[in-house]
Amino acid sequence: MSDDAFTLAGKTAVITGGASGIGLAIARRFAAHRAAVEIIDLQRAALDAALGELRVAGHDAQGEICDVGDPAAVDDAFARIVARRARVHILVNNAGIAHVGNALTTTPEDFARVQRVNVEGVAHCSRAALRSMKEHGGGVILNMASTLAQFAIPDRFAYATSKGAVLAMTFAIAKDFLADGVRCNAILAGRVHTPFVDSFIAKNYPGREAEMYERLSRAQPIGRMARPDEIAGAALFLCSDEASFITGGAFPVDGGTLTLR
């Protein structure tokens, strides 16, 4: 294996929700491996900051403000990306939102809101990217699913439903576009330490932040949460040519959660 085995040189990678957390870690890793990065995000300040960081580091990075749950907005954003880059080689469907509640405490409105972003957003972005990939001889789609697609924890009714749907879409896309040279896989992430986790703990457990952080960390058999860059490393492999024989797969990056609990 060469030192440049995981190069993404000459490839355009679109990363949704790429201005913060796991998405930003993936954008940094892909840019460092010479991809032309296109970040899609809803937050203007976060997007500007992410693009500024990448450009200062000498990377080729552009972005679009877009609500992934709006199909017309997604089509417009991808049209602009294709106009800039000629084609899309890689799509990472990372944008998503969370919700706490069970089947009785989750309102229909909250349930629909989560599915709109986490499920419909993946479908809209995949559809837009697939048009380019099919026309130009292939590409890679990587979906950020979750261990909750395959096992349950309390009070994640809407979120777990959405991630189960993302996993099913992964298999469907891999099957339907195999002959077009498109690979599609999913990462089943365990709990990852991001600003979202810190804000969730602060909001729901005021005064008990340190205790709850330790409890959530110990819930993974490995004894800690993942770092965003650890998810990014797996994403780089699955989107690189080193994974050219891998499609229709679901890959736990979860500290042993699915198998060692």
Which one-letter DSSP state was computed for residue 191?
A: -
pLDDT tens-digit map of 180-226: 999 999 999 999 999 889 988 998 899 999 999 999 999 999 999 99
Out of 159, 194, 247, 252, the active site residue is: 159
pLDDT of residue 93: 99
Q: What is the pLDDT of residues 144-187, one digit of tens each?
A: 999 999 999 999 999 999 999 999 999 999 999 999 999 999 99
Q: Which SS3 state, helix, strand or coil, does residue 115 take?
A: helix
2 in helix, strand or coil? coil
Q: Is 102 helix (H, G, I), strand (E, B) or coil?
A: coil
Q: Is 213 a catalytic residue?
A: no
Q: How far apart are CA 93 and CA 74, in angstroms?
A: 12
What is the amino acid identity at position 150? Q
pLDDT greater than 90 at residue 228: yes
Which domains does the chain carry?
12-190+227-253 (3.40.50.720), 191-225 (no CATH)
Q: For the chain, what's the residue count?
A: 261
Residue 49: beta bridge partners? none
Predicted local distance difference test score (pLDDT) of residue 261: 84
pTM above 0.95, yes or no: yes
Report the percentage of the chain scoring pLDDT > 90.
Answer: 95
**pLDDT above 70 coverage of the chain, percent:** 99
97-142 per-position pLDDT tens digit = 999 999 999 999 999 999 999 999 999 999 999 999 999 999 999 9
pLDDT of 110 = 98
